[in-house]
Each structure stands twice: as structure tokens, then as C-alpha cells.
């Protein structure tokens, strides 16, 4: 970003090359990371709630402050990967290359655009690797700035309205997350740093698991002075009930109530809303169609393929992992939100005449499956939810790129204004057909696998853990049927029959895909087929961490529920 920023305007033809080369280099690094990632064997590192289970960990002291009687604050640059994030990193790296190729059509203020694109790339990757809540929040907030300007400056006629709406909705969610983050800071200690400060060890390297247990036992007994405690934003430490100061604001053993509910339940709901806005889930979804319609094609691709996944990933990593009792207590609520999003999003997509609005509402529907899978808290449901995030990232990128191909040629996105495109654009039609069938959940494509496992998990949840009734899975399955209707209707309406466009001037400019467009589309088509036929390529990496995640939510959640109730 800084290289582009410092380059003179006379070299503006180089900006797009720098962005593309950077994105390709980033994808290369990601493939090297995946090649070295351990995912087989008896002792596969699982991550989730154990720092030693993460791979490619980097940790360094960033901010240390002595707050006197309130103790000390420790913020680390702490990043790493486990099965819940490795797939998202690959998705982000791949889509960012595709987005860079799509950005070659941008001609207005290229320096500003490519600087913001590269900043957005940094923020997205940062969200998927951060294991310190403060660091995660920094990257999460940093997404707002470039996306606001990318929509507001390079978008369509109503771009100012769409960008402000996006900013305000997301900012509201960020404020809710910030309030809970502050509450967690005052409640959680770093047992390793506290061991050194309180005299249990001379240095961090000398702190053993036995010393950590002694620190946690003495903390629970009130034997550690407040000024010797070191507060932390470490997400992994926040998952362990033993690291909470007795009687603190968000301790499960405290009697702090708000609106008749334990404050930890309120914190879970606040975080759920904060991330559901970014997901987005009904009823927090209304910013999405406006943002997609007005955003330029490459930004629509990043918004649907990656930014929505940051919201889903945030739900997995923060409220579900730190407040697992909330995941159990409000499983029905998360499940209902998922089912409503599936059906409501699909019905709205069915009514849309604008192709980008249709895709936007289909995204709301497909992301509803992620919520339903997480609500089940079953191995099948969680694996399906993470796979659905990955699959939808590929398919939504494809859908918006395909809409962009048509819009770049004609400036017209209305479905009723086209007929018989198959006769003029055969290659384009083939890729559209594959993408539509993959998106509606046809076996052999990635979309089928994610939805299948989510529905399996939701259907089995009642007998495994009693969290969801079977009717939620049955109603959710209707979303697949409605999806088939609007995709097949659009395909028949636009591509078959005698060629016709409402504007006769478009007849000669509707040409088939060029080389750049094929380079964008074909890798994504191959990906949805490959992961649809060989889902083990993805599940092998995810399953160990997903099983640990389910175990953590159920076991720690029940422990916390007992503490809250007693």
C-alpha cells in the first residue's frame, strides 16, 4: 500500500500490476502455509481453546501498561492458524487475486483505489489470523474505512447513501463488540504474565503448566493481590473460566445481572448482534442489498466472498468460544435467525428484478445455513457451517463477477431486459449455468456439501444435545427449493430463446468472455467442482478443530451454566 501511495501519478499504469503481484505473492505464501500445515496423525494440533494447538504462531509483546491498583494490561501481537481459520485464509488469498484482476477496469483515481484495496486485503487477512481480541478488533474496525470509501467513491448513483448505511450499521455492531471487549479486559488475567508479576516464576519461559494451575487456584482463592494481576485480551485465555477474577464483571461465578439475565448472557447477545450485522442475518441485513448494488464489481466480490465471512468467523471465534453457555442457552434463537434468514432471503431473491439484488438476497439466505449449523453445536453442523462459509465465498465471488461481466458491457442489470444470451455468449452461459447449479445445491458442487452437513447437524441436534427441534432443519431445507426456483427462473429468462435486449444499442457490444475474464472465472469454477467432488480436501483440515470446538462449547458451556445458576 505504501509503495503505491509513494509512487508518482505519472506511473499510475503500474498500480494495478503492484496490486496483482502482491495478491499473487500472498496466495503463494498461503499455499506454502497449507503445504506445511499438520492435519493428519494422532497428535494433530487442534487449536480452538489451547494456544499450543495453533500452528504458525507468532507472539510478541506490543503494549504493556501499569495501571497501579488496577493491575497491568498486556496486549500482544498474537496470530496463528487452526482448522477454523486455515480455509478462510485460503479463500481470502484466492479471492483477493481474483478481485485484483477484476479491478483492472477501474480508471478513476487509481492510486486511491489500489491503496484502499491493499489496506482492505491487510484487514481481512488480519481478522482471520488474530488471536488477541484487541488485535482482532483493530483489524475488524480497519475494514470499515477502505470499504466505506471504495463504495462511496467508486460506486453507482446512490453510492453515498449505500456507503453511509454500511458504515453506520457496521459501526453499531462494532460498538457492541467494543463494550464486551472492555468488560472482558477487566475480568480476565493472563496466568503466565501474572505468574511472573506475582513472583511464581522469574521469567515467562520458566512458567510451567503446574505454575499456571497454582496461579489459577490462588486467583480463585483470592490470594493474588489486584496490583499483581496482568489483564489480557488473549482470546484463548478468555475461553478458560479459571482465568476470570472472582466476582469480576463477566465472571460466570459473579451475581451481576442486567435486565433480569446474567451479564454473560447479555454479553453473548451483544456480540451475536455485532457480528450478525456483518454476516448479515435478518433483521440486520438491510444494508447489504444497497451496498452490493452500488459497489463496483470487485468490491461486491470482496464484500460477499470475504467480509460476510469475517462476521461468521467472528461468531465462531468470539461469542461461541468465550461465552459457550450463551451458545447453549440461545441455540434456539440462533437457529431461528438462521431459518428466517434462509427463507426470507430466498423469497426476496425470488422477487428481485435486479441481478445484483437477487445475488445479495441469496447471500442472506445462504449465510443463514451457517447460523443454523452453528446453532446445532454438532460436529456435522459446525463442519457444514465452516464449509458453507468457504463454498459461499467461492460461489458469491463467481456470481458477482458474472453480473459484472454483463454490467461492464451494457450498464444494465435488469433481468427482464435480456433474452437468449446463450446464442451470443456461449462461454459465459456455460459458466453461469455451472455457477447457478452449484449455488442451488446440486450434488457434485461445493454448495451441496455445505448445506447437506448443516441440515444433518441441525436434524441430529435434538437427539445429540437437545438444542434444536427437527422442524428447523425441515424448514431450512425449503430454502434450497426456493433457491432452485429463482436461479432456474433467471437462467431460463436471460439465456434461452431468441436473442433480444431492451436497448438495441447493446446488441453489438454483448460479446463473449475475454482472456482476463476467463482468468477470473475459471479458477473459481474449478474450485467449486473440486471441493464438491472431493470435500475431504477441506474437511481433513477442519474436522479436528471442529470436533474440539464442539467439545469446548458443550463442556465449558455446561460448567459456566452451573456456576451461573448456583
In 352-417, where does DSSP find H-type helix?
Answer: 355-376, 379-410
SS3 248: coil
**Is residue 199 domain-resident?**
no
pLDDT above 80 for 68:
no
- pLDDT tens digits, 390-437: 999 999 999 999 999 998 888 888 999 999 999 889 999 999 999 999
Question: Is 402 in the same domain as 310?
Answer: no
Beta bridge pairs of residue 231: 73, 189
- Number of domains present in the structure of the chain: 2
Looking up cell 453506520 gives 168
Question: Is 140 in the same domain as 255?
Answer: yes
The answer to whether 181 touches 193, Cβ cutoff 8 Å, is no
State the pLDDT at residue 37. 93
Give the mean pLDDT of the chain. 91
State the pLDDT at residue 69. 67
pLDDT above 80 for 354:
yes
pLDDT above 80 for 457:
yes
- Cell for 314? 467472528
CA angle 136, 142, 143 (to 5 degrees): 100
Greatest C-alpha distance within the chain: 82
Host H or E run for residue 378: none
**What is the C-alpha separation between 288 and 104, in angstroms, rounded?**
24
State the pLDDT at residue 156. 83
Beta bridge pairs of residue 73: 65, 231
Q: Which of 296, 320, 344 is the last residue of a domain?
A: 320
pLDDT above 80 for 232:
yes
User: What is the DSSP code string of 87-118?
Assistant: HHHHHHHHHHHHHHHHGGG--SSHHHHHHHHH
Q: Which of 273, 288, 320 is the last residue of a domain?
A: 320
- pLDDT tens digits, 298-348: 999 999 999 999 999 999 999 999 999 999 999 999 999 999 999 999 999
Question: Is 431 in the same domain as 468?
Answer: yes
State the pLDDT at residue 138. 94
Question: Is 288 in the same domain as 373?
Answer: no
Contacts of 8 (CB under 8 A, 6+ apart): none
Q: Distances in Å between the alpha carbon of 92 and those of 72, 224, 313, 528? A: 36, 44, 12, 15
**What is the C-alpha separation between 375 and 461, in angstroms, rounded?**
9
Closest among 319, 393, 391, 342 to 537, alpha carbons compared:
391
SS3 202: coil
State the pLDDT at residue 70. 67
Question: In the chain, what percentage of residues exceed pLDDT 70?
Answer: 99
Helical axes 426-439 vs 470-495, angle rounded to 10°: 170
State the pLDDT at residue 72. 77
**Is residue 39 domain-resident?**
yes
User: Strand 230-232 to strand 72-81: parallel, antiparallel, or no bridges (unpaired)?
Assistant: parallel
**What is the C-alpha separation between 107 and 97, in angstroms, rounded?**
18
Question: Is 261 in the same domain as 340?
Answer: no
pTM summary value: 0.93
**What is the C-alpha separation between 439 and 362, in angstroms, rounded?**
9
SS3 179: helix
State the pLDDT at residue 260. 82
**What is the C-alpha separation between 321 and 51, in angstroms, rounded?**
13
Burial class of residue 366 in the structure, from the number of CB atoms within 10 Å of its CB (0-12 exposed, 13-18 middle, 19+ buried): buried
**Is residue 507 domain-resident?**
yes
- Cell for 242? 479459571
Answer positive or negative: Cα dihedral of 549, 551, 556, 557.
positive
The answer to whether 262 touches 119, Cβ cutoff 8 Å, is no
Question: Is 353 in the same domain as 311?
Answer: no
Q: Which of 279, 294, 320 is the last residue of a domain?
A: 320
Question: Is 363 in the same domain as 438?
Answer: yes
The answer to whether 143 touches 303, Cβ cutoff 8 Å, is no
CA angle 47, 52, 56 (to 5 degrees): 75
**What is the C-alpha separation between 62 and 68, in angstroms, rounded?**
19
Question: Is 291 in the same domain as 398?
Answer: no
Question: Is 492 in the same domain as 515?
Answer: yes
Confidence of residue 220 (pLDDT cuts 50, 70, 90): confident
Question: Is 286 in the same domain as 336?
Answer: no
Helical axes 110-129 vs 15-36, angle rounded to 10°: 10
- pLDDT tens digits, 186-207: 899 889 888 988 888 888 888 8
Closest among 494, 472, 258 to 372, alpha carbons compared:
472
CA angle 291, 126, 519 (to 5 degrees): 60
- What's phi and psi for 312, nearest 5 deg? -65, -45
SS3 426: helix
Confidence of residue 181 (pLDDT cuts 50, 70, 90): very high
**What is the C-alpha separation between 60 and 79, in angstroms, rounded?**
9
**Is residue 495 domain-resident?**
yes
**Is residue 206 domain-resident?**
no
State the pLDDT at residue 558. 92
Question: Is 259 in the same domain as 376?
Answer: no
Question: In the chain, what percentage of residues exceed pLDDT 90?
Answer: 64
SS3 content of the chain, % helix, strand, coil (to 5): 75, 5, 20
Question: Is omega for the bond preceding 230 within 30 degrees of 0, making it cis?
Answer: no
Helical axes 355-376 vs 470-495, angle rounded to 10°: 160
State the pLDDT at residue 253. 81
**Is residue 294 domain-resident?**
yes
Domain range for 481: 330-533
- Cell for 165? 448505511
Confidence of residue 117 (pLDDT cuts 50, 70, 90): very high
- Cell for 451? 448445506
The answer to whether 553 touches 377, Cβ cutoff 8 Å, is yes
**Is residue 251 domain-resident?**
yes
Question: Is 401 in the same domain as 462?
Answer: yes
Query: Beta-carbon neighbour count of residue 42 at 10 Å?
Result: 4
End-to-end CA distance of the chain: 53
Q: What is the DSSP letter of 75?
A: E
**What is the C-alpha separation between 257 and 374, in angstroms, rounded?**
26
**Is residue 348 domain-resident?**
yes
User: Strand 418-419 to strand 500-501: parallel, antiparallel, or no bridges (unpaired)?
Assistant: antiparallel
Amino acid at each position: 500500500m505504501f509503495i503505491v501511495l509513494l509512487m508518482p501519478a505519472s506511473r499510475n499504469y503500474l498500480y494495478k500490476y503492484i496490486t496483482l503481484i502482491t495478491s499473487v505473492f500472498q496466495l503463494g505464501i498461503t499455499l506454502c502455509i497449507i503445504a506445511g500445515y499438520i492435519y493428519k496423525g494422532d497428535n494433530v494440533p487442534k487449536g480452538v481453546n489451547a494456544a499450543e494447538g495453533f500452528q504458525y504462531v507468532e507472539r510478541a509483546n506490543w503494549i504493556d501498561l501499569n495501571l497501579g491498583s488496577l493491575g497491568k494490561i498486556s496486549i500482544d501481537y498474537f496470530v496463528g492458524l487452526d482448522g477454523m481459520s486455515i480455509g478462510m485464509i485460503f479463500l481470502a488469498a484466492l479471492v483477493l487475486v481474483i478481485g485484483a484482476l477484476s479491478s483492472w477496469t477501474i480508471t478513476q483515481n487509481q492510486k486511491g483505489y489500489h491503496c484502499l484495496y491493499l489496506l482492505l486485503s491487510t484487514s481481512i487477512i488480519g481478522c482471520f489470523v488474530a488471536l488477541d481480541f484487541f488485535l482482532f478488533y483493530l483489524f475488524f474496525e480497519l475494514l470499515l474505512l477502505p470499504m466505506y470509501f471504495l463504495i462511496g467513491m467508486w460506486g453507482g448513483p446512490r453510492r453515498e447513501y449505500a456507503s453511509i448505511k454500511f458504515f453506520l450499521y457496521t459501526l453499531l455492531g462494532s460498538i457492541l463488540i467494543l463494550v464486551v471487549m472492555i468488560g472482558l479486559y477487566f475480568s480476565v488475567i493472563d496466568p503466565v504474565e501474572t505468574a511472573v508479576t506475582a513472583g511464581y516464576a522469574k521469567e515467562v519461559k520458566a512458567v510451567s503448566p503446574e505454575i499456571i494451575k497454582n496461579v489459577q487456584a490462588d486467583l480463585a482463592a483470592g490470594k493474588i493481590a489486584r496490583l499483581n494481576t496482568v489483564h489480557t485480551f488473549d482470546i484463548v485465555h478468555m475461553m478458560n473460566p479459571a482465568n476470570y477474577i472472582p466476582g469480576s464483571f463477566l465472571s460466570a461465578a459473579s451475581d451481576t445481572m442486567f435486565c433480569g439475565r446474567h451479564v454473560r448472557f447479555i454479553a453473548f447477545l451483544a456480540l451475536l448482534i455485532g457480528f450478525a450485522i456483518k454476516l448479515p442475518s435478518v433483521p440486520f441485513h438491510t444494508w447489504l442489498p444497497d451496498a452490493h448494488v452500488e459497489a463496483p464489481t470487485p468490491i461486491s466480490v470482496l464484500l460477499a466472498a470475504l467480509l460476510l465471512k469475517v462476521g461468521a468467523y467472528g461468531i465462531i471465534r468470539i461469542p461461541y468460544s468465550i461465552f459457550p453457555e450463551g451458545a447453549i442457552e440461545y441455540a434456539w434463537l440462533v437457529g431461528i435467525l438462521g431459518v428466517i434468514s434462509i427463507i426470507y432471503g430466498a423469497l426476496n431473491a425470488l422477487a428481485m428484478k435486479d441481478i445484483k439484488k437477487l445475488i445479495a438476497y441469496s447471500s442472506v439466505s445462504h449465510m443463514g445455513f451457517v447460523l443454523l449449523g452453528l446453532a446445532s453445536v454438532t460436529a456435522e453442523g459446525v463442519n457444514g457451517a465452516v464449509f458453507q462459509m468457504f463454498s459461499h465465498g467461492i460461489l458469491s465471488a463467481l456470481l458477482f463477477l458474472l453480473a459484472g461481466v454483463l454490467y461492464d458491457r451494457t450498464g444494465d442489470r435488469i433481468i427482464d431486459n435480456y433474452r437468449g444470451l446463450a446464442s451470443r455468449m456461449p462461454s459465459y452461459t456455460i459458466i453461469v449455468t455451472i455457477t447457478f447449479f452449484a449455488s442451488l445445491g446440486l450434488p457434485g458442487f461445493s454448495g451441496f456439501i455445505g448445506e447437506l452437513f448443516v441440515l444433518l447437524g441441525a436434524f441430529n441436534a435434538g437427539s445429540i444435545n437437545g438444542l434444536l427441534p427437527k422442524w428447523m432443519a425441515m424448514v431450512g431445507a425449503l430454502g434450497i427449493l426456493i433457491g432452485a426456483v429463482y436461479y432456474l427462473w433467471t437462467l431460463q429468462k436471460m439465456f434461452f430463446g431468441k436473442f433480444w435486449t431492451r436497448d438495441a444499442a447493446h446488441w453489438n457490444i454483448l460479446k463473449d468472455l475475454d482472456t482476463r475474464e476467463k482468468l477470473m472465472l475459471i479458477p473459481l469454477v474449478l474450485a467449486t467442482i473440486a471441493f464438491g467432488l472431493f470435500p475431504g480436501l477441506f474437511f481433513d483440515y477442519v474436522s479436528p478443530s471442529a470436533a474440539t470446538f464442539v467439545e469446548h462449547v458443550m463442556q465449558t458451556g455446561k460448567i459456566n451454566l452451573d456456576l451461573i445458576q448456583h
